[in-house]
A = this chain, B = another copy of it.
Amino acid sequence: MSVLCEKSGFKVIKQNTDSKARLGSFRSRKGEFPTPAFFPVCTQGTIKGFSSRELEEIGIQGILVNAYHLFLRPGTKVIKEAGGLHKFMGFPNTIVSDSGGYQVFSLEKLRKVTASGVEFQSFLDGRTISLSPVEVINIQLDLGADIILPLDECVKFPTAYDYAKIACQRTIDWARESRDVFKGGKGEPLFFGIVQGATYLDLREICLKKLLDIEVDGIALGGLSVGELRDSRYNIISFISDILTKENRPYLLYFMGYGKPEDILEAISLGVDMFDCVVPTRFGRTGTAFTNKGKIVVRNAPFADDYSPLDEECSCFVCKRFSRAYLRHLINAQEMTGGYLLTYHNVWWYHNFMKQIRESIQEDKFLEFKEKFLRKFLDADGG
């Protein structure tokens, strides 16, 4: 099975027979990457703890940055004049920039939403900033992102149907305005649409179909994992991926801001192709490491004289060089090196985790892998 979509460069290579998991390949102007894919988050233009040199070493093919944060600091002018974000931060592969919608809406007290955009106060200096959907796109074009997302309205859970409908319509209108800013021709960035609609399937369907009408290059799931029941979330994902598979071309399905290992596996089984999340980096710098036998809180006392590596099965330099006892010492002594090393291990571990997932789909053994992994990972989970 091989369906190629020329424009967006998304290709489904292998469809799992007993779930909706699929192996694919996505092409941006910065190269191809295999899916399911996980992109670490570089909120302010870096992973917290290390640089693009280490990203390259691990083999990271894509990252997510926050347009909202970079717009505030150092500002788009500085990055544009540097030759774009790739050059500024020394990362040559695919960069996704989010619109800042989630950031604006999660700072609820600071915002005013109108049909023409959002108004909020800078978290840095308190000044009032207004941004229209078109300005949000122009910021991302200035940054030089390869995959661009429009401003959307993310509602909290629960939200009454009437307001969810208004927010959903606003999200559609803004996507349409955004799509008109650039055509997405050769060498231009790609444009993904964000599906909103809260927990209402009819709104989700309307939103998705309107996005397909304006020729988006991929579909992002928005407004999920905000407090709704797990089953409700899975139902929505499945509902959306079902509609997409009926289209006459494949669409990459991207779950934004989602990424615990167990959640990734479940979402992939429902047809999700791509993720970004702060989990590996935030957990790392605060002292928690991922291992195939579950998460470990490195500062805990039992590791004081544990001279084994974080994960016996891991081949990253941290596991090859350092013991849990040393890493615990660094974390306890508040040495930033501890945060660096745990973050490095976690990003490496996630990279390898995704690779194993893809291999299992390739061999049509995804559900077997999922079950086996979770038994080992969750049974021993200390987190």
Closest CB of chain B to A298's CB: distance in Å? Answer: 13
Expressed in whole angstroms, the Cα–Cα distance for A321 and B321 within the complex equals 26
CB-based contact B326/A336 at 8 Å? no
Considering only CB atoms and an 8 Å cut-off, how many residues of chain A contact the other chain? Answer: 40
Q: Given the complex, which residues of B lie within 8 Å of A332, measured CB to CB?
A: 73-74
CB-based contact A337/B82 at 8 Å? no
Copies in the complex: 2
Q: List 23 A-B contacts (CB under 8 A).
A: A44-B329, A44-B330, A44-B333, A45-B326, A45-B329, A45-B330, A48-B336, A49-B336, A49-B337, A51-B321, A53-B317, A74-B332, A78-B304, A78-B305, A81-B307, A82-B307, A82-B323, A88-B323, A90-B326, A285-B336, A336-B339, A336-B340, A340-B340
Expressed in whole angstroms, the Cα–Cα distance for A90 and B321 within the complex equals 6
Question: Assuming the A-B contacts A329-B44, A329-B73, are A337 and B78 also in contact, with contact meaning beta carbons closer than 8 angstroms in the complex?
Answer: no
CB-based contact A52/B82 at 8 Å? no
CB-based contact A50/B323 at 8 Å? no
Verify if A46 is at the interface (C-beta below 8 Å from B). yes
Closest CB of chain B to A278's CB: distance in Å? Answer: 14
Verify if A341 is at the interface (C-beta below 8 Å from B). yes
Q: Given the complex, which residues of B lie within 8 Å of A77, measured CB to CB?
A: 305
Within 8 A of B (CB), among A57-101: 73-74, 77-78, 81-82, 88-90
CB-based contact A46/B330 at 8 Å? yes
Q: Given the complex, which residues of B lie within 8 Å of A329, measured CB to CB?
A: 44-45, 73-74, 78, 88
